[in-house]
């Protein structure tokens, strides 16, 4: 199965961006990534915005992000199965230690 990671991306107080969660799904040699404004909840859909693919290194990385872009903390990681992937939503079954079940991300 393919791997996933959920990171909390915290920005410094003097940065223009806001802290958020990044859901990353392994797809070939990169991680498809969605920016989530709130922590995912398996009981209800969350809203997310697709952003640029990330390096596979983020599957295992925690710490400072270059360019004064804050730091990332891993919330969970594990494997996933794709259920639905279209312009309206991505739905995955997650097999992590924190997130175990079906997650629906509504694409905004």
Q: Give me the domain span that covers residue 87.
A: 2-107
How do residues 28-45 score in pLDDT, each as one tens digit? 999 999 999 899 989 999
For the chain, the residue count is 108
Domain total in the chain: 1
Q: Which residues of 60-93 are buried (b: 16+ CB within 10 A; e: fewer)?
A: eeeeeeeeeebebebbbbbebeeeeeeeeebbbe
- 3-class SS of residue 34: strand
DSSP secondary structure code for residue 60 in this structure: T
How do residues 41-78 score in pLDDT, each as one tens digit? 899 999 999 999 999 999 999 999 887 788 999 999 99
Asked whether 15 and 70 are in contact (CB, 8 A), the reply is: yes
């Amino acid at each position: 199965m393919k791997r996933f990671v959920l990171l909390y991306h915290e920005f410094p107080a003097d940065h223009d961006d806001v802290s958020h969660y990044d859901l990353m799904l392994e797809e070939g040699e990169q991680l498809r990534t969605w920016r989530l404004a709130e922590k995912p909840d398996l009981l209800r859909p969350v809203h997310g915005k697709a952003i640029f693919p990330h390096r596979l290194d983020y599957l295992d990385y925690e710490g400072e992000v270059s360019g004064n872009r804050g730091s990332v903390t891993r919330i969970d990681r594990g494997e996933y199965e794709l259920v639905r992937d279209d312009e309206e939503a991505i739905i995955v079954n997650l097999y992590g230690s924190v997130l175990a079940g079906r997650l629906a991300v509504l694409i905004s």
